[in-house]
């Protein structure tokens, strides 16, 4: 992936302003955001990624913000930009949630934040749905099982933290698989007040759902649906390490 970084000064006008002030911002708002970025030590942004706004490539887009690759000094970082039409007034809440999951080694590392921006570790990888589709050849089953176990281990850590991600039923968009790290991402809908269902939602998405599950089943033979549901039911009752290990055993992980 070619990464050509553009000075944030150029984001005061189109077509780059569509990214900094998505979906629409005034000149005054754009200048204010550029000043905010300078305080965060963000000097340039690379417009790359598999998502697009108009003809401009970005890393991702959600209900709260758009994510781009940026540079903080000489270090590449992921920059989340709050949408102008977001129902959230600021990014501080999400930054606190990310800091919390970081305490148990989950998620991209939180670096800095402000009202309109979240600066975090850049994970060089691809969404898990695309990664599974690309798996082939010798050892693909082992690679898949290793990755799924890593994801479920992170989910269990969140369950023990009494932290609910909130969107793992659609796991295809919320896990990045890289060469050195597999990570859950996007904690904007997370909560510490709901009963956590991270392991349950992820297991159902991978093995029972209609999306990624079909591709997983092509690579290795899954246990029966009834056995998975029974193991999940036992796990939900206690959410202990032992019940989690029992689930992994049923899943042949």
Tell me the HSE value of 155 on the side-chain side, using a 13 A CA sphere.
Answer: 31
Which residue is it, tokens 């930009």? 81
What are the φ and ψ backbone dihedral angles of 82, each rounded to 5 degrees? -65, 130
Which residue is it, tokens 């080694």? 105
**Around Cβ 114, how many Cβ atoms within 10 Å?**
18
Q: In this predicted structure, what is the pLDDT of residue 2?
A: 59
Give the start-to-end residue ranges of the domains of the chain. 5-122, 126-250
What would you report as the CA-atom Rg of the chain, rounded to the nearest whole angstrom? Answer: 19
Strands 182-184 vs 5-7: parallel, antiparallel or unpaired: unpaired
Residue 23's nearest CA partner among 72, 84, 79, 67 is 84
- pTM of the prediction? 0.92
Q: Does domain 5-122 have CATH number 3.30.200?
A: yes
pLDDT in tens, 6-20: 999 999 998 899 999
Average pLDDT, the chain: 94
Average pLDDT over residues 191-210: 93
pLDDT in tens, 61-86: 989 999 999 999 999 999 999 999 99
């Amino acid at each position: 992936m070619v990464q050509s970084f553009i000075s944030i000064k150029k984001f005061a006008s189109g077509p780059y302003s569509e990214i900094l002030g998505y979906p629409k911002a005034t000149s005054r708002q754009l200048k204010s955001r550029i000043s905010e970025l300078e305080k965060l030590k963000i000097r340039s942004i690379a417009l790359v990624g598999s998502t697009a706004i108009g003809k401009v490539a970005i890393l991702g887009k959600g209900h709260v913000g758009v994510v781009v690759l940026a540079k903080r000094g000489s270090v590449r970082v992921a920059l989340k930009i709050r949408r102008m039409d977001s129902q959230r007034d600021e990014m501080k809440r999400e930054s606190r949630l990310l800091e919390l999951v970081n305490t148990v080694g989950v998620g991209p590392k939180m670096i800095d934040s402000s009202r309109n921006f979240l600066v975090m570790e850049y994970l060089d990888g691809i969404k898990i749905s695309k990664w599974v589709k690309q798996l082939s050849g010798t050892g693909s089953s082992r690679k898949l099982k290793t990755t799924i176990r890593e994801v479920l281990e992170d989910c269990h850590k969140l369950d023990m933290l009494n932290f609910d991600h909130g969107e793992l039923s659609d796991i295809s968009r919320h896990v990045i698989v890289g060469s050195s790290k597999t990570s859950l991402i996007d904690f904007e809908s997370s909560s510490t007040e709901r009963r956590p269902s991270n392991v349950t939602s992820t297991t159902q998405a991978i093995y029972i759902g209609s999306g990624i599950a079909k591709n997983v089943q092509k690579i290795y033979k899954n246990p029966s649906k009834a056995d998975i549901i029974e193991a999940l039911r036992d796990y939900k009752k206690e959410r202990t390490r032992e019940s989690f290990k029992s689930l992994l055993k049923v899943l042949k992980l």
